[in-house]
Chain A
Amino acid sequence: MDFNQMVLVVFLVGSVLIVAAMIGVAATTRGAPQPQSQVQPRGYALRARWFWALGAATALALLISLPFVPYPSNAEMAGAQHVKVTAQQYGFALPATIPAQTPIIFDVTALDVNHGFGIYGPDNRLIGQVQAMPEYVNHLPFTFSKAGHYTVRCLEYCGVGHAYMQGAFEVK
């Protein structure tokens, strides 16, 4: 199971729990009713705990995720091999082969409209992306561990040929 499929499972499990909790609440309307004045204080106490629990979970998620941003540091920019990628309606100009196990920086730009540079691995799974914007160069750091055939797909809507806009390279 790759990362995205794990994300999907987490989402689905979470969603089922949310739906189940809400159905549980809805079901209480069938039981013996209680006045609002009696329900509220207990509810507010629970809400306070829920607030702190959600706050802790959020803080944790931020602490874990923020160090993993895909943006290159200055050191990475200096130490990597730069690969120029130019997107244009409806194709990519980029080298045919890229070395494996080497820190790469893709210098990505576009000549006409906004495009997206999405890298799909040999198993056809999306493993990284960056926008290709005219007038700007976006630097995407990447180190390929596996050799093989990689596909590039456009990931920003760029006109009627968008779905056919592809490129490819070999990692050796």
Chain B
Amino acid sequence: MNRKSQSFRLRGTTVPVITLALSSADQTALEGDIDRKVSEAGDSLAGGLAVIDLSALGDEHPPLQWLVAQVRRFGLHPVAVIGTQEAQAEEVSALDLAVLPASSGSARSADTPVREEPVAAAPSAPEPPASAPQTAASARPAPPAASAAADTTTLVVDRPVRSGQRIYARGCDLVLLAGASAGSELIADGNIHCYGPLRGRALAGASGDHEAQIFALDFEAELVSVAGVYKAFERLPDGVRGKAIRASLEMRDGQSQILLSPLLIAT
């Protein structure tokens, strides 16, 4: 990437966040409703960030760990809880979630303060562009280093991604710690980093970032794509298969195309 000499930058980003706003504490009812929604939604929400909003409920709410699991069923990545009681703060942070302040009342209104914007539904987010697989339900400009939500700029998957599964790192990088099987689909708006074998289809820069790249220690991909420019492999070239490879876009004769190069460059 076109980085300055600095090893990192802190910058405010706009990341779309989906809110699971609970209006009932009845676990059985919730589970049934969520079952239905999950099958409707398929994996269209997969890879997105989610906030659990309990502010419409009183003291009684389902166990947070259970709620987190429900959110994960959509393929969403829970990052924060809104409207939790003081007493639960510890449980929340044990789950690695941020606590966002509750709204004054149970009803959410348009004139809620700026900090609650993550739950204010906006018809479309400024980012990612329309080519993203799913329109975002809400978005907010994150105050720098204000909450965990703002820090979540990477989606880390620590189990193998299996055939038939699809992971989408919306607005961020995707890190795969255990690799991805043939028949899986990995999509990121940012870069894709794969530490196990990369055997599925990997699509970086899915909303148009030409600078996005794919880094794989054990490259066996079926297809790679950067910003929509793709290359499919019926058979991988010998110098590439199983090697540490980086896939990026290069311009050649006025056309962008996928370039595969060794990941580890001797200095």
A and B form one complex: no
Q: Which residues of A contact B (CB under 8 A)?
A: none
Q: Which residues of B contact A (CB under 8 A)?
A: none
